[in-house]
Amino acid sequence: MFICNAALRNKEMRANCSSSSACPANSSEEELPVGLEVYGNLELVFTVVSAVMTGLLMFSLGCSVEIRRLWSHIRRPWGIAAGLLCQFGLMPLTAYLLVISFSLKPVQAMAILIMGCCPGGTISNIFTYWVDGDMDLSISMTTCSTVVALGMMPLCLYLYTLSWNLEQNLTIPYQNIGFTLVCLTIPVAFGVYVNYRWPKQSKIILKVGAIVGGVLLLVVAVAGVVLAKGSWNSDIILLTISFIFPLIGHVTGFLLALLTHQSWQSCRTISLETGAQNIQMCITMLHLSFTAEQLVQMLSFPLAYGLFQLLDGILIVAAYKMYKRTLKIKHRIKNPALRVEARFKKKSTSPKETSAFLE
């Protein structure tokens, strides 16, 4: 998720480190590098922009959720269970195998492992909408993975770092997780209510919100990468891992969903949910757990991962749209009567619905 919760992160950092002199984030006399200072100064701006953008986006996506279908996923949570297995089973294991395969430094290895143990991000919800996925399942998975992360993040990190000699304690950003849940559930609940009361208007809100949210998401992602360029390093191994990691998540998530006999719509949804991680939660945990010198070697990975998961999502959406368009063309060639019917519908379309909505 791309919420940038600076205030909560600073409070938690002070609370965790005020009573412990061994905490690496407690070095108040330590001078931050230029890139990290820029990141800190811009964090408050991104907090407001990201929170507002996320709220509006989740409200518009909530307008696609039907109470009946949402309840069916909760009553028979096989799709949610498959998604959680991918999120906290496959992704941490993939991160651990990548760390072993590339023989990384301990600090860099921790950045990759923390990313693999984070819950899903809301960027997957908008990509799910664009590929005609199951929005009820997508939002349910994002919410459930964030709740389950309260226990699964520390458990996964503990299990996979048992053989590592860590010099510092890892700090789980519980306040950030709680803030994420609030910004996720409240706007979605309003969207569900609007869809229940005004179904026609909710469709218009959904289309407008998806387009505007996608544009704002792209702008904030590019601006964040450019403005935090001082935090980047030219480690080709980290860039390579940040490129293949989300791809592995998408492929393995799709295959596991397929093996558990999920529908094609659910397979696309679980695939996107698996590869899309909560970038901001990873960055917050790195800031809480490591020193400024260590962050210089680590911070480029979540930034690059966020950029590549955005590019991967756009490519998946583009490929799906091309595939869908090809199927429509083939279907029209086989059934010429459909073209005549489509032209007739275009001519008979009246602006009654638009004028009713404006009124």
Q: What is the CATH number of the domain that holds 300?
A: 1.20.1530.20
| % of the chain with per-residue pLDDT over 90 | 19
Task: Name the least confident of 34-38, 115-119, 237-241.
Answer: 34-38
Domain-located, residue 7: no
C-alpha 71/C-alpha 87 separation (Å) is 22
Confidence grade of residue 358 (pLDDT, cut at 50, 70, 90): very low
What's the pLDDT tens digit per position in 15-58?
444 434 334 444 333 444 444 444 455 555 656 666 677 777 78
C-alpha 263/C-alpha 260 separation (Å) is 9
- pTM comes to 0.75
C-alpha 181/C-alpha 145 separation (Å) is 10
What's the pLDDT tens digit per position in 134-166?
988 998 898 888 889 989 999 999 889 887 776
Q: Give the total number of structural domains in the chain.
A: 1
Domain-located, residue 118: yes
What's the pLDDT tens digit per position in 278-295?
888 888 888 888 888 888
Q: Please answer whether residues 55 and 187 qualify as being in contact, where contact means their C-beta atoms are separated by less than 8 angstroms.
A: yes
| Exposed / middle / buried, residue 351 (Cβ in 10 Å: 0-12, 13-18, 19+) | exposed
Domain-located, residue 9: no
C-alpha 214/C-alpha 325 separation (Å) is 21
Domain-located, residue 187: yes
Q: Which residues, in sequence order, are bridge partners of residue 320?
A: none
Domain-located, residue 10: no
**What pLDDT score was predicted for residue 230?**
56
Structural domain harbouring 279: 46-325
Confidence grade of residue 330 (pLDDT, cut at 50, 70, 90): confident
Give the mean pLDDT of 221-245: 73
Domain-located, residue 5: no
The more confident residue out of 127 and 58 is: 127
* Alpha carbon 355 to chain centroid, angstroms: 37
Average pLDDT, the chain: 77
